[in-house]
A = this chain, B = another copy of it.
Amino acid sequence: MPLNKSETFERTEDLIGELRASGLKVTEQRVLVLGELAGDCTHPTAQELFERIKDRHPGISFATVYNTLNALERARRIAALDVGGPRRFDPNRARHDHAICDRCGSVRDVDPVDASLPDPMLDGFAVERIERVYRGLCSECGTSSEASNTDRRNEDG
């Protein structure tokens, strides 16, 4: 799967501004983490981001990448996706949905059906945001309907 970096790479000074706006101290490691995630629509895991950053910055530790992602998520600068398997991260703060392949586990952005929130109050529950997840088979797994070598589900039972 290609990285699908957007054409609009964020400048370092923008990344720094975003870290500051999130209430985080600006460090080289955090700029690297946010820069690596920004514009990446493949919803990478902490491990994947760590591997990529390590190539250019061998001294960085996994815990730092992990802690930075958690800090950015708490600050709502990025979103975390719990969809089974390791947690994935999403830099896109615009309202959007996700399509997840039951076979290979890939996650894809989907335009929201309607961008408006419904009732902000749901029988006592204060709705802050909505995530819609489409489950099924991605175009690659759907066409080759044999079991794929990247199969995440096992059989037996």
Whole-angstrom distance from the CB of A145 to the nearest CB of chain B?
A: 10
Given the interface pairs A24-B157, A82-B83, A157-B71, the reply to whether A130 lies near B132 with Cβ below 8 Å is: yes
CB within 8 A of A128: which of B70, B102, B132? Answer: B102
Contacts of A156 in B (CB 8 A): 71
The answer to whether A131 has its CB under 8 Å from any CB of chain B is yes
Contact code string A63-103 (vs B, CB < 8 Å = 1, else 0): 00001001100110000101110010000000000010110
Give A95 to B80 CA distance when docked, in angstroms: 25
Whole-angstrom distance from the CB of A137 to the nearest CB of chain B?
A: 5
Give A108 to B126 CA distance when docked, in angstroms: 13
Contacts of A132 in B (CB 8 A): 130-133
Contacts of A82 in B (CB 8 A): 82-84
Q: What is the count of identical protomers in the complex?
A: 2
Give A127 to B129 CA distance when docked, in angstroms: 22
Contacts of A99 in B (CB 8 A): 122, 125, 127
The answer to whether A110 has its CB under 8 Å from any CB of chain B is yes
**Residue pair A137, B133 in contact (C-beta under 8 Å):** no
**Residue pair B124, A138 in contact (C-beta under 8 Å):** yes
**Residue pair A136, B131 in contact (C-beta under 8 Å):** no
CB within 8 A of A122: which of B123, B125, B134? Answer: B134
Contacts of A59 in B (CB 8 A): none
Give A145 to B80 CA distance when docked, in angstroms: 23
The answer to whether A135 has its CB under 8 Å from any CB of chain B is yes
The answer to whether A139 has its CB under 8 Å from any CB of chain B is yes
